[in-house]
Amino acid sequence: ILQDASFLRFIGVLRETDGFKNFDAVALEPVLFAAANPFTSPVERNRICLLRGVACDSAGILREVEFEGFPAYRNQEPVRPKYLYIQWLPATVTRLSISRLRAVTKDLFETWHLPRELIKMNIHNCQYGGTVEMSWLPRKIEVFKLNMNNIKGTVYLTDLPPSLKDINLTTSPIEAVVVDNSSLQSLQLARFGHTSEILVREVSGEIVDKRIKVTRYR
């Protein structure tokens, strides 16, 4: 029940307004299959694992969330929730993919809001704003893709999770990248890019590791 309630807060179905908890059946409709009843709470029916865009393991624990606003393949159905509040995602989620959902109501992106079990994250073209504190990433994460959003400020590639392999923060107005070469343990590639210049430096004055790719778009 805690998992279900948390997920329903993530998609804005359960919200508190003026101190009262509300169940928003309209907000639930985009993730329901056609045969489901939008006026019956999935908390009561234990249907979270049957919603569109989610996958659970054999024990009924939520593991994957995939919402595609405009799928790349014709045989895929779009999943377009009205709300996305990442801070309410259950901690058990290991894979998170959210793409092309620019108009959705959402909170600012904060790395400490991410599920602690997360391994792969791809949030693409969703107009998420905020800054990124890489040292707060889940310690098991391998893929961190947050491209085509509105992330600003300085990104510090220091104290990175030892499992992190792939970083994509291209097409976001990041101003600077500060690198600690000794922190890039498993890293294969980190990509940054924008129309404005992005300053890059290594904390000890060394040459920045070649796995860090920064591009200025024309």
User: Is 157 domain-assigned?
Assistant: yes
Rounded distance between C-alpha atoms, residue 94 and residue 66, angstroms = 11
pLDDT of residue 26: 82
Q: Indicate if the pLDDT at residue 189 is higher than 90.
A: yes
User: Is 8 domain-assigned?
Assistant: no
Question: How many distinct structural domains can be found in the chain?
Answer: 1
| Residue (of 186, 184, 178) closest to 202 by Cα position | 178
Side chain identity at 79, as an amino acid letter? V
Q: Indicate if the pLDDT at residue 88 is higher than 70.
A: yes
Q: Indicate if the pLDDT at residue 182 is higher than 80.
A: yes
- Rounded mean pLDDT, 59-76: 84
Whose tokens are 């993730």? That residue is 31
- Rounded mean pLDDT, 126-134: 95
User: Is 62 domain-assigned?
Assistant: yes
- Rounded mean pLDDT, 153-165: 97
Average pLDDT, the chain: 90
User: Is 125 domain-assigned?
Assistant: yes
User: Is 22 domain-assigned?
Assistant: no
Domain that holds residue 140: 55-216
DSSP SS3 for 133: coil
> Is this model's pTM higher than 0.85 or not?
yes
Q: Indicate if the pLDDT at residue 176 is higher than 60.
A: yes
Q: Express each pLDDT in 12-46 by its tens digit.
A: 998 876 566 788 888 888 887 654 555 455 444 44
Rounded distance between C-alpha atoms, residue 154 and residue 7, angstroms = 31
Side chain identity at 40, as an amino acid letter? T
pLDDT of residue 119: 99
User: Is 65 domain-assigned?
Assistant: yes
Q: Express each pLDDT in 73-86 by its tens digit.
A: 666 678 899 999 99
DSSP 36-65: S-TTS-HHHHT-GGGSTTEEE-TTS-EEEE
User: Is 146 domain-assigned?
Assistant: yes
User: Is 15 domain-assigned?
Assistant: no
List beta partners, residue 20: 17
CA neighbours closer than 13 Å in the CB half-sphere of residue 105: 9
Rounded distance between C-alpha atoms, residue 43 and residue 8, angstroms = 8
Q: Indicate if the pLDDT at residue 151 is higher than 50.
A: yes
